[in-house]
Structure 1
């Protein structure tokens, strides 16, 4: 199964997520839980890291959030939409995130990757690494040291022998 996202849908500012259900907020708790479960069941064939969490079903949002293979990050974005500049975050992702793995990139080119090259499996959070500046800037939104992207970025840094990124002072 696919998510039902097209390039046009992702590029349009006002596009709705295919996971969002307006009615989830206008019914009683038990009905909302059944609706959430039903939507999650519909998308159970998606790769595990891309399956919708309850917040994606109950919170109106742009579909770019749906393609992030980090459930903690998706939840935090949706719970804090009014607390950060979403456009700046989107722009920062373009240069602050790298997708590693697979074939197609020469070893010498890996050090020069800009975030535009993707040879890994983008639906698996283990393929991703955030740059140090991105981790520091969005530490809390990423879920801190327990967030999938932070943990995986620390792992990639360890593989290269780079030091771990410490939590920013304002995150403590």
Structure 2
């Protein structure tokens, strides 16, 4: 990682933020959660809350998966941190039997040293793509697209989480994420399946394979 990607929430040491999050991010989160809840119970949910809500859900999901694997946020904060799956004697991770199946380490995770924030997506092939990409990927930009709930600009390049974050069936990829980060989805049919499952529940058209099988990002061509 070429620059710092994650930082501890200044008001909650059991939670991580993107390192470039503004100082007011924790207070904004509290205000936003209260505002979104109030609009919901009043029967008038606000459409402009959707982007921040989706990113806040990914923020929570990653932090919950940290705990599911058996790591702490403090372990991830340093850019010099190495995944516990690369260590001979990791500092207290759960035994494999206690890790949800979607988060169990792949051979790539166990053999290639990498920062542990890449261990928390419940899609083995996606994790491998991130690890193999190494410094060629802009970690800070990916973190921002996924977790920057404080940024209300209308960017749809994110993921959606609808339930327990360690279950791949509860994740959905957006069209914007496919356009920008599609090469990370190479070999992830389970994410395509879960995406279309959620889209069909909402009465939306399935995301066609043409959207997921070809694309470019930073001059890179990719196939799924």
- Residues 1-172 of structure 1: pairs in structure 2 closer than 5 A: 2-21=68-87, 42-94=95-147, 96-100=158-162, 120-143=163-186, 146-165=188-207, 166-167=211-212, 169-170=215-216, 171=222
C-alpha displacement of 1:169 = 4.5
Q: Verify the 8 A CA contact 1:3 1:18 in the aligned structure 2.
A: no
C-alpha displacement of 1:97 = 1.8
CA RMSD of aligned residues (A): 2.5
Q: TM-score, normalised by structure 2?
A: 0.52
Structure whose residues are more often strand by fraction: 2
Give the SS at the match of 1:80: helix
Q: TM-score, normalised by structure 1?
A: 0.66
| CA distance in 1 between partners of 2:174 and 2:114 (Å) | 25
* 1:90-134 deviation line (CA, Å, top 9, x unaligned): 22222612211xxxxxxxxxxxxxxxxxxx211101111122201
Structure 2: segments with no counterpart, 5+ residues: 1-66, 89-94, 149-157, 217-221
Structure 1: segments with no counterpart, 5+ residues: 23-41, 101-119
Q: Verify the 8 A CA contact 1:72 1:148 in the aligned structure 2.
A: no
Following superposition, which runs of at least 4 residues in structure 1 exceed 4 angstroms of deviation? none
Give the SS at the match of 1:19: helix
Q: Verify the 8 A CA contact 2:182 2:215 in the aligned structure 1.
A: no
| CA distance in 2 between partners of 1:151 and 1:137 (Å) | 19
Cα distance change of structure 1 residues 6 and 163 upon mapping to structure 2, 3 Å threshold: same
